[in-house]
Amino acid sequence: MTNSASRAAGLTPSTLQQLIQDERGPRLLDVRTPGEFRTSHIPGAYNVPLHTLREHRAELLAHLDEDVVLICRSGARAAQAEQALAEAGLPNLRVLDGGMMAWEAAGAPVNRGPERWDMERQVRLIAGSVVLITGVVGLLVPGVHLIGTAIGAGLTYAALSNTCAMGMLLAKLPYNRGPRTDIRAVVASLRDQS
């Protein structure tokens, strides 16, 4: 049995809404990029992008002693965050089933900011464009189509490994970074809310 199979099940949006309404609801950590977080997030959530969470999980652990719900767009990055925090020894972790997509579909409250394309849509645009362009150019220049084949292989690996190198690269672009997450400010907020 894998670690992910032995962990607690996720939360449905309706169950999370009920928990938030309680006086001491769970801590909500949104592991999307700052740009995605600014577009829409659950009120009261803390933005700790996945790469920042992995890098500073020891600092976060001291302030995450109660239930923690991890949130991303669809649940994949939140599951990776869950694994990283569980390996560091944090119990009481859950993932919002379906992520922000399910939360918004349920009509749950959302804080909105400027609209941005989510990471998955950006990956589809870049991968599709590269495949299209190399396919067309490959009609004139032999071998160029192999670039599209390599992109296809990368996307296949991304699906099988539940990681995405292209998404990680796109997350580093200024458009997706937004204001850098200040881990000290997040830790101070977590400490103040204890």
**Catalytic residue ranges:** 72
Residue 149 DSSP SS3: helix
Task: Name the residue among 118, 117, 100, 122 with its Cα closest to residue 109.
Answer: 100
Where does residue 30 rank: exposed (0-12), middle (13-18), buried (19+ CB within 10 A)?
buried
- The residue with tokens 């918004």 is 104
Contact 26, 94 (CB under 8 A): yes
Q: What distance in Å separates the CA atoms of residue 50 and residue 189, rounded to the nearest whole number?
A: 18
